[in-house]
Amino acid sequence: MFDPTGGFWFTDHGKMRRRDRRGGLYYAKADGSDVREVAHPLDGPNGVGLSPAGDRVYYAETHQGRVFWFALSGPGEVADHRGPEHRPNLLAGLGGWQLLDSLAVDSAGNVCVATIRNGGITVISPEGEVSHVPTDDRLTTNICFGGPDLQDAFITLSLTGRLVRTRWQRPGLELAFNR
């Protein structure tokens, strides 16, 4: 996820060892001159997005079915960072056995996260209100927005091997360097 300064956020899901599934949240400059670990250890982070104001970075935690956020104080900087003990804010935790995958943020600031097992896109408002848009594939793994008005959602349905396009209820967040 690129920010307006040309830096980008990414997650590393971590190693899949029998007893260790630790990953992290990272920030880098596109020219490679700076790559930094922002938060570690995290439990299987997967998917990252920025709020419309650029004051929050969101990430999904796959196996726990949760979405977290950190307040930002600048490019690649978590506000009031206190080292490894600095914990993120919980935006929402899903009940039952639902796994989260990649995400995108829409123009209203809702986090739209692909949801495995429940098959669809879980939409979480900036206040943590949760709704669900089902697909016909239990292995829904990604979403991004495009089209001339950014209101086309492109969703990967991995169990059936499809990429679908559907009209979304609101435009996606315009990304840095999109146009």
Check residue 20 and give its pLDDT.
Answer: 62
- The 10 Å Cβ neighbour count of residue 55 is 13
Q: 83 pLDDT exceeds 80?
A: no
Range 128-136 average pLDDT: 97
Check residue 98 and give its pLDDT.
Answer: 93
Is residue 31 assigned to a domain? yes
Is residue 177 assigned to a domain? no
Closest C-alpha to 112, from 98, 94, 131, 97: 131
Is residue 176 assigned to a domain? no
Q: What is the pLDDT of residues 49-72, one digit of tens each?
A: 999 999 999 999 998 999 999 999
Percent residues over pLDDT 90 in the chain: 72
- The 10 Å Cβ neighbour count of residue 123 is 22
Per DSSP, the three-state class of 83 is helix
Domain that holds residue 129: 7-167
Peptide bond into 52 cis (omega under 30): no
Q: What's the rounded Cα separation, in Å, for the pair 145 and 155? A: 9
Is residue 48 assigned to a domain? yes
Q: 21 pLDDT exceeds 80?
A: no
For the entire predicted model, the pTM comes to 0.92
CATH code for the domain in which residue 112 is found: 2.120.10.30
Q: 82 pLDDT exceeds 80?
A: no
Total number of domains in the chain: 1
Check residue 17 and give its pLDDT.
Answer: 63
